[in-house]
Structure 1
């Protein structure tokens, strides 16, 4: 703990490296630290959100396939904010619009139902994916920003060497350590962002596949109802 907070000029603690760094390197370090904090806020938010959605979607689908009356189920769950519920609502609304008249175009109704629910799935996935672009940006850019801070810091160290005409390790070591610390912070911000982006992308892809399966199943149910009404 003392090593971490030691601010002595000869110390290699993170606090000391930051304090002794060039002002441009300090800006780079602060920017990367803020990016890291932002990244972890997004990660925690995504973890909580995806966990809640998975549980809610599973419950909704279980209740839906047990329901005997679609209209009654819609009155109960029609305003639910779950992705599956919104896909279901889009299907019900399109069904009501397409079957309101006396003559029903069965093929046209099927196409419109598929389009309406497909658009609802795409909209839900777009909303779920909001924030992933930040993780992708941090994961790809942070190492290069840290590298810029390192290059600048090493350039500054060599300038100090030329001014002092002293190239001993004791003289150049702290400056190079400060520069390399910027790269370390860049990696500290980038690695969690890349891992989280890949994991969350996989999780969202699974939710998308589940929404498509639900939409296909609901579409089949409505298609059977269309055929039943056509035989009357």
Structure 2
């Protein structure tokens, strides 16, 4: 069983992939997915220098422009995963190989995920003043502000902060490992108190997000 969200995402991805193959000049048959179709997709996704010539040979240069930069390894891996699922539906499991199979040795790094961060992307490293951002957000929506506060204090992700319920989250202190950062550890009691005082924080957040997207935080910063 998969969620409706996953079904919708797979549907959108497959529609986009098959549309792209058609624009590349390929004739599609849903009884299978020939290896050269997948190879062409991989060359396009990784911005291979030979894509322009391939499109010209098939008379498809007017339908699709070569990419200037490769897609991220995570996105490419995700697209291949969707194609594997599709192939399993049509009884052709195993048709889609590992991403590196479609790459030459010198280009394998384009499809290799990196599990360790190579640069500090935190607000602190970027010189962002949390107090200033928090004040701007609070002026627009107190619900989003309290969620932003618990994200900073407890390291929650956006979805976790939206669904956070203080009454259910409180556990005996002896069972909790305190945050390693003393500054954030000092923030935690205030963050919890602010969440408790906003009785409708979780319910109100869903409505608040319709008017204030997390993308708009970049504008505030």
Interval containing the TM-score (normalised by the shorter chain):
under 0.3
Greater RCO (Cα-Cα under 8 Å, separation 6 or more): 1
TM, length-normalised to structure 2: 0.24
What's the TM-score, normalizing by structure 1? 0.23
Higher helix proportion (structure 1 or 2): 1
Decide which structure has the larger Cα Rg and report it.
1
